[in-house]
Amino acid sequence: MAATTATPQTMRLLVEIDGAVHPLADCRWVRIEPNDCVTGSLVGNAVTSPQHAAERFTTSKRERAREERAGVRYQLVTPDRWATHAKPCLLGDCAHEWLA
């Protein structure tokens, strides 16, 4: 029985977001705070699920549970959505308000 040498990195994976198909590698996973502010981003093909994204950003299981209760979420977004929503946040140029 020969082991397969194919790796996911060699495949062109496509995802459908909001009814449109995009190459997964062009999309990004974003970490969205309860106030809708994006505080982190990963290339789309780095992880395979919101749960997996959470594990990449927050290694502590207890801390992840706390974040989830607080309303932090992880979402795969299109390049357009990333440019309009995530990029301003990551550059400190957004209008999201933070409660003390």
Residues that bind Zn ion (CB under 5 A): 37, 89, 94, 96
> 81: helix, coil or strand?
helix
Nearest alpha carbon to residue 27 among 86, 84, 76, 89: 76
Among residues 15 and 87, whose Cβ is nearest to Zn ion? 87
Residue pair 24/49 in contact (Cβ under 8 Å)? The answer is no
Q: How far is the CB of 98 from Zn ion (least distance, A)?
A: 9
User: Is the Cβ of residue 23 or residue 34 nearer to Zn ion in the bound state?
Assistant: 34
| CB of 24 or CB of 42, closer to Zn ion | 42
Which of 16/97 has CB closer to Zn ion? 97
CB of 22 to Zn ion, least distance (A): 23
Measured from the CB of residue 83, what is the shortest distance to Zn ion in angstroms? 13
CB of 95 to Zn ion, least distance (A): 7
CB burial string 67-94: b at 16+ within 10 A, e below: beeeebbbbbbbeebbeebbeebbeeeb
Cβ–Cβ < 8 Å for 15, 44: yes
